[in-house]
């Protein structure tokens, strides 16, 4: 039985909706999640979970040991290959993201390949520990806003019964075809169909085949094989083959399991490999961002707000980061320590990040064409196949292919976007003389600039591997002062406003403190004010004559959602 009233209704129980529910629950905000599906994702979908998303999962109380056990060993997922066919000639390869131990200097949780059908159950386990489970097979139908409530009509797909639920706020995390977004008349901007694919999920053991080295992506270059790509979700048991599909020229009904198995075999060097097709679906690559993220008390998040090409692995991660940004703000308003104007900062902060991610993912997708062009492949015709074979037999041609592959490196190396995004305006206070750092896609440089994620540092606390990020409470601000900044901590007693914890840092507590202070951009007497989502709200680079006054002015600007306030 659905409740008649709830503070927050969340539509969609994928990674975005589940993380929003989990964070709100941990913040003490009662919420309800509904989903028209019958349960969690069964087939592999997204597979790249980046460091920032894992940091958020860590803060939300997700079982990180379960995450580590479910994720692919980096040794199995460190490379992306261009091949004639899977198991055939290798034309080139590139490192796949940064998954090594060197990343522990920048984050406590480096990027891993973790398939969505393994990630979702772990999030559900975390939700169950808070006493919540989604209401599956419940479809959101419509809503009307009345005063300070949103009244939603929800259909139980099994019983046919219609329910009405009133909520203070509604979070639409119901995917790319969002019913909520459509009902609000919110359009999306950007190309709606760049390319179509049939996704063929199949079971097979690929480990141990000498011609199939450990890797996560294999682009099939032989036009006779269809020119698709393999995503290896588990070398021991499952993979996905993405085969080009034109919905205007053919029907998805033509792709029955037998035909799909034949397509997979055409893209294999060994067509006799034992395999079994599990699921088949079609999808279109798009690069779209919603015109706006909010209508009154209804907020869009995840794929309901943005869709990116998979060339970059930013979709699922951006959705989880949407939830992290929005959850603390909803909790602050519901608890009464922030005005509703704070909620305007959700769109002003997250939408520019989504647009950047969409643009970069589209560039990555379009740049892949350079490899096909170097091979002389333009379509699946015999003439194209002849040019392909001529290139393979020409050392100069192979050199051009190698150069084209080398130009794809940025596609698979984007720490600057994954960890280094900085909010330019919103719930923060930045001195006009404190400029935004330049964003370098391939380089992440930690910074304490307002709007940036708090720089990570390891704490000196014995055997436990704790990060400075772990000190940030989900429902409070955190003031971090330098070793000579006790005046900032003492000033909190004179500041009226939101709940804030204060801590003076020392070399006995923070490993490599001098390096961290330099990255944060503060002196020994300076301080950072950190939001509950681990982003810096305000920075004092040194001491101030009136620390309480400085903090009070910064907090007014932050909570107003307007950095000019």
- CA dihedral over 366, 372, 374, 378, signed as positive or negative: negative
Q: What is the pLDDT of residue 564?
A: 54
Q: What is the pLDDT of residue 470?
A: 96
Kind and range of the H or E element at 279?
strand 276-285
Which pLDDT tens digit goes with each residue over 355-387?
Answer: 999 999 999 999 999 999 999 998 878 888 899
Determine contact, residues 303/199, Cβ cutoff 8 Å.
Answer: no
Q: What is the pLDDT of residue 379?
A: 81
Q: Give the chain's residues under pLDDT 70.
A: 462-464, 562-565
Give the pair of three-digit tokens for residue 452. 């940036």
Give the pair of three-digit tokens for residue 124. 């559900």
Tell me the C-alpha distance between 402 and 82, whole Å: 10
> Judging by DSSP bridges, how do beta strands 298-300 and 162-172 pair with one another?
parallel
Q: Which residues pair with 561 in a beta bridge?
A: none
Place of tokens 């075999």: 265
Give the pair of three-digit tokens for residue 424. 């330019």
Q: What is the pLDDT of residue 193?
A: 86
Tell me the C-alpha distance between 558 and 547, whole Å: 16
Helix axes 51-59, 315-335, angle to 10 degrees: 30
Per-residue DSSP letters for 440-499?
Answer: BTTB------TTSBPPP-BB-STTS--BGGGGS-TTSEEEEE-TT-HHHHHHGGG--SS-
Angle at 52 between CA 92 and CA 80, to 5 degrees: 10
Per-residue DSSP letters for 366-378?
Answer: HHTHHHHHHHT-S
| Number of Cβ atoms within 10 Å of the Cβ of 247 | 12
Determine contact, residues 537/427, Cβ cutoff 8 Å.
Answer: yes
Supply the DSSP symbol for 410.
G
Q: What is the pLDDT of residue 563?
A: 54
CB proximity list for 89: less than 8 A, separation 6 or greater: 83, 392
Burial class, 378, CB count within 10 angstroms (exposed 0-12 / middle 13-18 / buried 19+):
middle
Which pLDDT tens digit goes with each residue over 153-194?
Answer: 999 999 999 999 999 999 999 999 999 999 999 999 999 888
Q: Strand order in 477-481's β-sheet?
A: 500-504, 477-481, 527-530, 536-540
Q: What is the pLDDT of residue 384?
A: 87
Determine contact, residues 478/328, Cβ cutoff 8 Å.
Answer: no
Q: What is the pLDDT of residue 246?
A: 87
Length of the chain in terms of residues written = 565
Beta-carbon-side half-sphere exposure of residue 241 (alpha carbons within 13 Å) = 28
Tell me the C-alpha distance between 309 and 115, whole Å: 17
């Amino acid at each position: 039985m659905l409740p008649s009233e709830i503070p927050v209704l969340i539509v969609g129980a994928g990674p975005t909706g589940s993380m929003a529910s989990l964070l709100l629950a941990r913040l003490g905000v009662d919420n309800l999640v509904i989903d028209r599906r019958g349960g969690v994702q069964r087939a592999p979908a997204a597979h790249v979970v980046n460091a920032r998303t894992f940091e958020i999962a860590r803060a939300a109380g997700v079982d990180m040991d379960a995450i580590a056990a479910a994720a692919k060993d980096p040794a199995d997922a460190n490379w992306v290959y261009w091949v004639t066919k899977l198991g055939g000639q290798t034309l080139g390869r590139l490192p796949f993201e940064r998954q090594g131990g060197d990343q522990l200097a920048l984050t406590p949780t480096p990027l891993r390949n973790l398939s969505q059908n393994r990630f979702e159950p772990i999030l559900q386990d975390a939700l169950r520990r808070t006493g919540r489970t989604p209401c599956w097979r419940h479809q959101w139908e419509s809503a009307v806003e009345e005063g300070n409530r949103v009244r939603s009509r929800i259909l139980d797909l099994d019983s046919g019964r219609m329910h009405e639920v009133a909520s203070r706020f509604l979070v639409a995390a119901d995917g790319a075809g969002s019913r909520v977004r459509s009902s609000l008349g919110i359009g999306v901007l950007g190309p709606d169909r760049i390319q179509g694919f049939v996704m063929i999920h199949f079971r097979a053991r690929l480990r141990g085949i000498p011609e199939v080295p450990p890797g996560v992506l294999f682009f099939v270059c032989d036009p006779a094989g269809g020119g698709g790509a393999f995503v290896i979700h588990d070398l021991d048991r499952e993979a996905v083959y993405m085969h080009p599909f034109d919905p205007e020229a053919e029907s998805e009904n033509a792709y029955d399991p037998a035909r799909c198995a034949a397509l997979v075999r055409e893209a294999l060097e060994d067509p006799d490999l034992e395999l079994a097709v599990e699921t088949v679906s079609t999808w279109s690559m798009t690069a779209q961002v919603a015109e706006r993220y909010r209508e009154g008390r209804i907020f869009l998040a995840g794929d309901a707000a943005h869709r990116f090409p998979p060339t970059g692995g930013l979709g699922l991660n951006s959705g989880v980061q949407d939830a992290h940004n929005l959850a603390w703000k909803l909790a602050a308003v519901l608890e009464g320590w922030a005005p509703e104007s704070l909620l305007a900062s959700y769109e002003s902060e997250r939408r520019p990040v989504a647009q950047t991610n969409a643009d970069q993912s589209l560039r990555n997708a379009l740049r892949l064409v350079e490899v096909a062009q170097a091979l002389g492949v333009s379509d699946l015709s015999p003439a194209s196949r002849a040019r392909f074979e001529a290139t393979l037999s020409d050392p100069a041609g192979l050199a051009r292919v190698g150069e084209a592959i080398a130009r794809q490196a940025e596609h698979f190396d984007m720490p600057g976007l994954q960890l280094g995004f900085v909010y330019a305006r919103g719930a923060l206070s930045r001195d006009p003389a404190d400029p935004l750092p330049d964003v370098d896609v391939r380089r992440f440089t930690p910074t304490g600039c307002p709007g940036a994620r708090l720089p990570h540092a390891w704490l000196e606390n014995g055997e436990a591997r704790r990060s400075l990020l772990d000190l940030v409470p989900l429902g409070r601000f955190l003031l971090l002062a330098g070793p000579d900044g006790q005046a900032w901590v003492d000033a909190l007693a004179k500041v009226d406003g939101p709940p804030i914890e204060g801590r003076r840092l020392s070399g006995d507590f923070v490993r490599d403190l001098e390096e961290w202070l330099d990255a944060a951009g503060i002196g020994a007497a300076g301080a950072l004010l950190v939001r509950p989502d681990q982003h810096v709200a305000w920075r004092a680079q040194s001491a101030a004559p009136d620390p309480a006054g400085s903090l009070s002015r910064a907090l007014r600007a932050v909570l107003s959602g307007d950095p000019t306030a």
